[in-house]
Structure 1
């Protein structure tokens, strides 16, 4: 299975609540760039998961639209900050027949998930900028054994 961990794109700094923060125009463009990068790399999701927070869901929807993904984005609270990698893995296991899952979430959780999945000890070693992507792969759905395939910053995706 291939997992693509994606940080939400740039959002407005303030809203009535943190969960309601929306993407700014620059953020919508960043999300399109992620989708275009995946398209050029020939990567297609079987399922797109998103945190329920507006900025992540909007990022997921722009990526889905750019890729002409026809299914609905699946909202899961396990992609919000404060959830464990074990909780996220339990959700992923329900989709074990799928080969490619996109997971749109937030920092610092994305770095923590990545670190736990690949068996690294320092999540701080994995900075995700807004609209950044990390790809990991494993045949077995267990923590600590996944292979890091690549990490791309927004500036690198823009080159595609």
Structure 2
């Protein structure tokens, strides 16, 4: 069985005059990433590998999760292909993952993650919000065979706030 956990980067800040790839998280984004990652601890998900877009906002979200989940930073790989907004590169990335990994976390962007969640998962999601998490399980042995799976979990920041 193969499992992907997609985490869309947390809310970014538009306060700075920087390129898109360099945009940092906002205070709300940092708070949401901490809130969501601390909730995710309850699920005892132990990833074999963690992948992130090189975008500052995605990588910062990823590092907050790594710190709060207390997993090794050695599991992290940054990949340019995950700086994708359509989903085609992310889908190809997933299909090309090493079969030695069974459980992976991927930090990236929308519309790519909503497209992947809907094309691969069993639950329709109108929009994966910032810092939204979607876990999908696939009854396959090889990442190349990943097509349609079962959406096992969604956690969105709005679900954790009063």
Is TM-score (shorter-chain normalized) higher than 0.5? yes
Unaligned 5+ runs, structure 2: none
Aligned equivalents of 2:94, 2:42: Cα separation in 1:
28
Superposed CA RMSD in Å reads: 2.2
Q: 2:79 aligns with which of 63, 76, 80?
A: 76
Q: Residues 86 and 130 of structure 1: is their aligned pair in 2 closer, same or farther, counting only changes over 3 Å? A: closer
Q: Which residue of 1 aligns with 2:106?
A: 103
Give the paired residue count: 154
Corresponding residue SS for 1:19: helix
Q: Any conservation in 2 of the 1:38–1:44 contact (CA below 8 Å)? A: no
Measured in 2, the distance between the counterparts of 1:119 and 1:90 equals 18
TM-score normalised by length of structure 1: 0.84
In the aligned structure 1, how far is the partner of 2:126 from the partner of 2:152? 13
Normalization by structure 2: what TM-score? Answer: 0.83
Q: Provide structure 1 residue ranges, at least 5 long, that are not aligned to the other structure.
A: none
Per the alignment, in what secondary structure is the counterpart of residue 139 of structure 2?
coil
Match of 2:18 in 1: 16
Residue matched to 1:60: 62
Deviations 1:98-157 (A, max 9, x none): 22211111110001112222378xx7x441111111110013233432111122211224
SS of alignment partner, residue 73 of structure 2: coil
